[in-house]
Amino acid sequence: MAGEPFGDYFRGRRVLVTGHTGFKGAWLSLWLARLGAEVHGLALAPEPGPGLYPIVRAGTFAREHLQDIRDFDGLRAAVAESGPHIIFHLAAQAIVQTSYREPLATFTANALGTAHLLEAVRALGLGCDVVVVTSDKCYENREWDFAYRENDALGGHDVYSMSKAATELVAQSWSRSFFAKDDSLGRVVTARAGNVIGGGDFAENRIVPDCARALAAGAPIGVRHPESLRPWQHVLDCLSGYLALAARIAQEPKDSPLVSAFNFGPATHDFRTVRALVEEMLRHWPGTWEQSGPVFAGKEAGRLRLAIDKATELLGWRPTWGFDEAVKQTARWYREHAAGDAVGELRAFTVGQIAEFERAAFTQGLAWARGA
Ligand SMILES: NC(=O)c1ccc[n+]([C@@H]2O[C@H](COP(=O)([O-])OP(=O)(O)OC[C@H]3O[C@@H](n4cnc5c(N)ncnc54)[C@H](O)[C@@H]3O)[C@@H](O)[C@H]2O)c1
């Protein structure tokens, strides 16, 4: 419907979100529920401790499967039960540092898990489109100043990055070998995003959760790599790309240039250092930061830029909240959480941020927000 976000494409559609108990998956599920989708989740049980999932759970999911994607038979049975029209595949071991401790578990969850999911869809003959979420880290990082484009070489120094490059190849191969040729199957696309920020992330060794934990405790924020340059973007900006892509490819033939890989990153001027992120955070939540020693022996990428021309040209997508707004909205969420609001209030606050984001995108004339 014209005028509704994403042309009202998701209303009444059954959408399977893998990784729904995680940070991005919980935000995406909540947004899809707001858009009128019947949301099914598939993931491991949530990590103990705080998280967005326990806040958004009530009222969001029609059905949830606690299922390891490394178990093919269990996964296929869960996908069959859901019978989705669309799948957003976010389930993954998502932390670089963890991949140094658990390389095989990372590789199997990320690369083999994606093969299991696509093979389950193929074996079941489901005509659903699949958006496979990978990462900016799937590119062979040459530490250069140029932004990476979708046709740049894949690679990966650490196992996490390599597993995301491998996930790209898995998606490409299943798409070319099976999905593209079979009219009963849907389309497979991949989405590569950078470092997302936003309320509700409580992962270890990520700078924003580290900030929130330190500030809530009145302690200085420990920063390991203040000069590292990262493509920070608000989680809603990244998710608006995934949703716009899914809604758009549904109208496209399988040989369309849109049935392919897309970068979703911030505008070039919003690539900032970790130091800039922390200092902006402190404008909204007063405190201090200090340089802390490295906590792991692995290699961290120094610079990584993403080119978003393809998404802008083909989807009319561009970021809505710039760096300052993204940090401000993130700080607002964590301060609300730190104030000890009840779960229902935090859910309503989170939905309010989605509504605010939709309004900002509409005002800026974003195609997806205008329902185009
Ligand atoms: N957060 C970021 O900055 C960022 C940046 C680029 C790409 N990504 C990608 O986005 C996706 C979501 O990231 P996130 O930050 O929400 O991660 P997260 O760690 O918060 O959540 C991961 C989700 O995957 C599920 N999962 C992990 N292993 C699984 C398994 N074996 N079987 C079933 N489910 C499993 C978890 O239960 C959880 O629901 C991941 O694919 C990640 O690699 C994230």
User: Could you read off the pLDDT of 34-59 as tens digits, one per residue?
Assistant: 999 999 999 999 989 999 999 999 99
- Length of the chain measured in residues: 372
Of 227 and 179, the one with more pLDDT: 179
E-state strands within 10-160:
14-18, 38-43, 61-66, 86-89, 129-133
The CATH number of domain 5-363, selected from 1.10.10.10, 3.40.50.300, 1.10.3720.10, 3.40.50.720: 3.40.50.720
DSSP string for residues in 176-191: IIIITT-TTS--EEEE
Ligand 1 pocket list (CB less than 6 A): 19-25, 43-44, 68-70, 90-94, 109, 113, 133, 135, 193, 195-196, 203
Sheet of strand 14-18: strand arrangement? 61-66, 38-43, 14-18, 86-89, 129-133, 188-193, 261-264
Nearest CA, atom 42, ligand 1 = 94
Phi, psi angle pair for 64, to nearest 5°: -130, 140
The atom number, within ligand 1, closest to the CA of 195 reads 3
pLDDT band at 270 (very low <50, low <70, confident <90, very high): confident
* C-alpha separations of 307 from 139, 150, 170, 311 in Å: 12, 8, 23, 9
Query: Does residue 300 surpass a pLDDT of 60?
Result: no
Nearest CA, atom 6, ligand 1 = 135
**47 C-alpha vs ligand 1 centroid, how far in Å?**
12
**300 C-alpha vs ligand 1 centroid, how far in Å?**
19
pLDDT at position 302: 55
Mean pLDDT over each residue of the chain, to the nearest integer? 94
Shortest CA distance to 333 belongs to which of 198, 238, 197? 198
The atom number, within ligand 1, closest to the CA of 46 reads 37
Nearest CA, atom 12, ligand 1 = 90
Q: To the nearest whole percent, how much of the chain has pLDDT over 90?
A: 85
Query: Does residue 144 surpass a pLDDT of 90?
Result: no
**314 C-alpha vs ligand 1 centroid, how far in Å?**
27
**CA dist., res. 117 & res. 89, Å (int):** 8
**CA dist., res. 192 & res. 94, Å (int):** 13
Shortest CA distance to 171 belongs to which of 93, 99, 89? 89
**324 C-alpha vs ligand 1 centroid, how far in Å?**
25
pLDDT band at 299 (very low <50, low <70, confident <90, very high): low
Q: To the nearest whole percent, how much of the chain has pLDDT over 70?
A: 97
219: CB partners within 8 A, 6+ apart: none
Average pLDDT over residues 317-326: 96
- For residue 245 the two structure tokens come to 């892509």
**346 C-alpha vs ligand 1 centroid, how far in Å?**
22
Nearest CA, atom 23, ligand 1 = 19
pLDDT at position 274: 94
Query: Does residue 296 surpass a pLDDT of 60?
Result: no
Query: Would you call 15 helix, strand, or coil by DSSP?
Result: strand
